[in-house]
């Protein structure tokens, strides 16, 4: 038996009316998310993911410099005995 299946994707993000969308894949923190988004929202999601990737890269670049600066006991000056 043959079946004909027609799938209509609608943007998952808010609009005043229904807007058709395509599947968008996002990878954030080693997890894959799928969103049905219109071209406008796809561009916004792509820009946000790029910004997040740049922030993570900058954080990882500074991590080795910062690792030894936390949780150290305070050094106090002892005067007298």
- 32-60 residue pLDDT tens: 889 999 999 999 999 998 998 899 888 88
Write down the pLDDT at residue 73: 59
Q: For position 42, what pLDDT does the model report? A: 92
Alpha-carbon distance 50 to 58, whole Å?
12
CB 26 within 8 A of CB 46: no
Q: The whole model's pTM is what?
A: 0.62
Instruction: Please give the pLDDT value at position 37.
Output: 92
Distance CA 46, CA 35 (A): 12
For residue 58, the Cα-to-chain-centroid distance in whole angstroms is 14
- Residue 31 — pLDDT band, cuts 50, 70, 90? confident
């Amino acid at each position: 038996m043959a079946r004909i299946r027609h799938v209509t994707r609608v943007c998952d993000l808010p609009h005043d009316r229904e807007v058709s969308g395509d599947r968008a894949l996002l990878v954030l923190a080693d997890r894959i998310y799928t969103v049905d988004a219109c071209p406008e929202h796809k561009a916004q999601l792509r820009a946000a993911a790029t910004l997040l990737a740049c922030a993570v890269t900058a954080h990882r670049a500074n991590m080795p410099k910062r690792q030894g600066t936390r949780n150290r006991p305070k050094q106090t000056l002892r005067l007298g005995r």
